[in-house]
A and B are shown apart, each in its own frame.
Chain A
Amino acid sequence: MITHGTDKKQSSVLKSISKMTFLPAVTLFILFVILNIFITRRFLTSGFMIGFFTANAPLVLIAIGVSVVLIGGGIDISLGAITCLVNVVFISLVGNGWSFGSAAIVGLVIALVCGVINGIIVGFFRVPPLLATFATTSVFGGIALWIMPTPGGSAPMGLINWYNSLFLGLPAPIFIIVAALLIWVAIKYSPIRIWLYSMGRDEKKAYMSAVPVKWTQLFMYSFSGLLAGIGALCLTGSIGSGDPLAGLPLALSAIAACVIGGISLSGGKGSILGSVFGALFLGLVITTVLSAKINPFYQDFFSGVIILVGVIGATLLSRKFMNKA
């Protein structure tokens, strides 16, 4: 009952930091950056950094997208397929003489439409999201294979050159990531944030509190679809061609990135920033394993161990911190 003013202030600062679910992922990221400065040759060069962000931007963007869905209590495993679809549509359109801009817009619209379809199936037809997006994965991925059965085509030189270069002194993909984060920041200040977190915690209660559950679900799947579209354009810049399968593994990697970033699969917990750093951390693990010169037969094992130990360590560390608060 009796509280001391200063104690209270100090503990509230600690408490607010401990609430930052993204802290473990950020800590891991920073630790691995430091580690790689020592073990990876030319790690801190623009050449490496461009390559790093070029390769990992699609994963980061899709992780941002799926984060919103996970926070809202859903799950979306179709984002890899949407990425594939947008990639092949974009390449096909460019191959047929469309301009970069118009092909990109069509690609993004398709991504949005895919997301809307997921949202309608989950929000309005009340199909469990795992089942719904599992099914749409086949549909979207199937269409991608139909449009382009084998890899081919090539992306506009302008896109490849810009995407694989420095822009205003930083690797260009960083700007796309920042732009995506800005979209999220805008959403964060709208009622949608509160709706998402409330639905993630308890959908029934949210419904009872007059939260527009269906519409928020429609929104979150549309948002993740759109982000997969942006991710697909990045992937196109990264691989320079169309490939109906290249994007598929992103769906699960992105969910892994979110979980590492402190997002709960049961919803209502976590932050987008955590997922961004979770995704970047996954990229760093690949580099670390390679630079540590681990036998190729054990590389998978060691990446797994690094992720596991890293996540457990960081979680324990932040929990200790939380108990102090």
Chain B
Amino acid sequence: MRRTVFKVLAVITAMVLVLSLAACGSSSTGTSSSNSVSAASSSSSTPAASTTAKQSGFTIGFANGYIGNTWRSQFVDDFQKAAQKYKDAGIIKDFQVVSCNADVTQQLNQINTLISSGVDALMIDPVSATSLGPVIAKAKAQGILVIITNDPAAYDGTYAVIGNNDAFWRIQTTWMAEQLKGKGNIVEITGLPGNTADTLRVNAAKDVLSKYPGIKVLASAPGKWSETEAQSVMSTFINTYKNFDGILEQDVMAEGVLRAYETAGKKPPVMTGDYTFGFLNKWAQTPDLNTIGVPYAPGMSADVLGITIRLLQGKQLKDGVMQANPLNPSLKNAIMLDPPYVVTKDGDPNAVWMKGYSLTKAIKLDDAAKLGQGQPSTAALDATLTDDQLNSFFK
């Protein structure tokens, strides 16, 4: 009996070996340089766009690192819609989107498959900021353009096209300071400590508030971008601090803050808000609520696709578009996408907080709420950049 087992084993081993050898035998098809993959830092700093680039017929692969909330669904959906448009226009030949569940191994498998399927450009929303070094090196070795999106990661020779967290929070903090007329006490609920986006936002708030010495931050605690966590933090604040004039909190946690006030039977003071239609509608129905909504728009994925295609077409970015990567300030490869809208009650385009953001539009709450007709309450206020706006990044 045992001998038979060994025979079967031997056959299997032989098959695996043959497969692998076959693999190596046919390695000439476009993977000549993959025998020894050089690592990220060994290549030049910025990918040089080729001067004789083709203008259409591209294949795009998009490896999305997580799916399972409304924002990400919109993110993937917006990409698919935009990609289909480009495909219909004949600019891209094909595209593939693949999502994983925050599993590094799964994403590496997916990227490996996308690379071997012969994509021209690879968009990656990384599961982990640092886990892609070897696989990106492999992609680059095959001449694939790599664009990191949404979650930042710093790799030499790639572009990082990400939401401008600094702008996102600078606008809202300035708004808050202006509402309080530069004087008062506030409490702060931050996001996930250690998360890059959160760090950027917290630093932006510090920077803004340093210009308003009359405003004091009584307390600051992390709400971990969770409604329930934010609710319990807010309840503690309500019970601990008798008087404060404003609440600085980030997007999804607004509902938790409102619920804490409902439970306490009090009315919330000036507070920053969320950009889901659920929140916007609630706001529209609560006349005394003084808040602001700045979308961190999932349509970013479509914008990134537009930028990717222009880069593939050999277009050159304007000077000054590339900024320092938030994860590695010495690497200037980041393109920051400002929020598309700032929603306030009156939608004043000339307000102080609107200064310096040319692609950002101030709109009224009623107009914003109208955009959400027919959308689920968890959907985000969304927008994508127009071709003209996208072209404005390029020379």
Chains A and B share a contact (CB less than 8 Å): yes
Interface residues of A (CB under 8 A from B): 12-13, 15-17, 19-20, 26, 30, 33, 40-52, 54-56, 58-59, 149-155, 157, 160-161, 163-166, 169-171, 174, 235, 237-243, 245-247, 249-250, 253, 273, 283, 286-287, 289-291, 293, 295-297, 299-300
Known A-B contacts A246-B128, A283-B109; A17 and B96 likewise in contact (beta carbons under 8 Å): no
Query: Cβ of B29 < 8 Å from any Cβ of A?
Result: yes
Query: Cβ of B203 < 8 Å from any Cβ of A?
Result: no
List, in ascending order, chain A residues with CB within 8 A of B36's CB. 161, 164-165
Known A-B contacts A44-B19, A300-B101; A239 and B24 likewise in contact (beta carbons under 8 Å): no
- Bitwise interface map of B from 97 to 141 toward A, beta carbon under 8 Å scored 1, else 0: 111111111101111111111100000000111111111011000
Besides A51-B115, A249-B105, 6 more A-B contacts (Cβ < 8 Å) are A47-B27, A49-B23, A237-B134, A243-B104, A247-B104, A296-B80
Known A-B contacts A41-B118, A42-B30; A17 and B4 likewise in contact (beta carbons under 8 Å): yes
List, in ascending order, chain A residues with CB within 8 A of B35's CB. 46, 165-166
Give 27 pairs: A residue, B residue, CB < 8 Å, sorted on A: A17-B8, A33-B19, A45-B27, A47-B27, A48-B23, A48-B112, A48-B116, A55-B105, A163-B134, A171-B20, A237-B134, A238-B105, A238-B108, A238-B134, A239-B104, A240-B39, A240-B131, A241-B133, A243-B128, A245-B128, A246-B127, A249-B101, A286-B106, A296-B67, A296-B76, A299-B98, A300-B101
B26 touches A45 (CB 8 A): yes
B114 touches A54 (CB 8 A): no
Checking B1, B108, B115, B127 against A47 with a beta-carbon cut-off of 8 angstroms, the contacting residue is B115
A54 touches B34 (CB 8 A): no
State the 6 A-B residue pairs at the shortest beta-carbon distance, nearest first.
A51-B112, A47-B31, A240-B133, A239-B131, A241-B130, A55-B108
Query: Cβ of B22 < 8 Å from any Cβ of A?
Result: yes
A283's closest neighbor in chain B, by CB? Answer: B109
Checking B111, B116, B117, B194 against A149 with a beta-carbon cut-off of 8 angstroms, the contacting residue is B194
Known A-B contacts A47-B27, A164-B37, A290-B114; A296 and B105 likewise in contact (beta carbons under 8 Å): no
Known A-B contacts A42-B116, A44-B19, A287-B113; A164 and B108 likewise in contact (beta carbons under 8 Å): no
> In the assembly, what is the distance between CA of A50 and CA of B24, in Å?
10
> In the assembly, what is the distance between CA of A273 and CA of B20, in Å?
18
B131 touches A243 (CB 8 A): yes
Main DSSP-derived SS at the A contact region: helix
A243 touches B4 (CB 8 A): no
Checking A33, A151, A166 against B24 with a beta-carbon cut-off of 8 angstroms, the contacting residue is A166
B99 touches A296 (CB 8 A): yes
What total of A-B pairs shows CB separation below 8 Å? 213
Query: Cβ of B10 < 8 Å from any Cβ of A?
Result: no
A174 touches B20 (CB 8 A): yes
Query: Cβ of B226 < 8 Å from any Cβ of A?
Result: no
Distance from B338 Cβ to chain A, minimum over Cβ atoms (Å): 26
> In the assembly, what is the distance between CA of A286 and CA of B109, in Å?
7
A20 touches B8 (CB 8 A): yes
Query: Cβ of B321 < 8 Å from any Cβ of A?
Result: no
Known A-B contacts A43-B116, A240-B39, A296-B98; A58 and B133 likewise in contact (beta carbons under 8 Å): no
B24 touches A46 (CB 8 A): yes
List, in ascending order, chain B residues with CB within 8 A of A171's CB. 20
Interface residues of B (CB under 8 A from A): 1-2, 4-5, 8-9, 12, 15, 17, 19-24, 26-27, 29-31, 34-42, 64, 67, 73, 76, 80, 96-106, 108-118, 127-135, 137-138, 142, 194
> In the assembly, what is the distance between CA of A98 and CA of B242, in Å?
54
> In the assembly, what is the distance between CA of A12 and CA of B3, in Å?
12
List, in ascending order, chain A residues with CB within 8 A of B98's CB. 289-290, 296, 299
B42's closest neighbor in chain A, by CB? Answer: A157
> In the assembly, what is the distance between CA of A56 and CA of B108, in Å?
9
Known A-B contacts A241-B133, A253-B103, A296-B97; A42 and B31 likewise in contact (beta carbons under 8 Å): yes
List, in ascending order, chain A residues with CB within 8 A of B97's CB. 295-296
Point out which of B22, B39, B76 has the most chain A C-beta atoms below 10 A from its C-beta. Answer: B39
> In the assembly, what is the distance between CA of A153 and CA of B133, in Å?
11
A51 touches B15 (CB 8 A): no
> In the assembly, what is the distance between CA of A81 and CA of B364, in Å?
49
Checking B22, B34, B100, B133 against A154 with a beta-carbon cut-off of 8 angstroms, the contacting residue is B133
List, in ascending order, chain B residues with CB within 8 A of A245's CB. 128
A243's closest neighbor in chain B, by CB? Answer: B128
> In the assembly, what is the distance between CA of A289 and CA of B99, in Å?
11
B117 touches A49 (CB 8 A): no
B29 touches A45 (CB 8 A): yes
A287 touches B105 (CB 8 A): no
Checking A48, A170, A295, A297 against B113 with a beta-carbon cut-off of 8 angstroms, the contacting residue is A48
Known A-B contacts A150-B194, A152-B130, A165-B36; A54 and B67 likewise in contact (beta carbons under 8 Å): no
Distance from A177 Cβ to chain B, minimum over Cβ atoms (Å): 10
> In the assembly, what is the distance between CA of A293 and CA of B98, in Å?
9
Point out which of A150, A153, A290 has the most chain B C-beta atoms below 10 A from its C-beta. Answer: A290
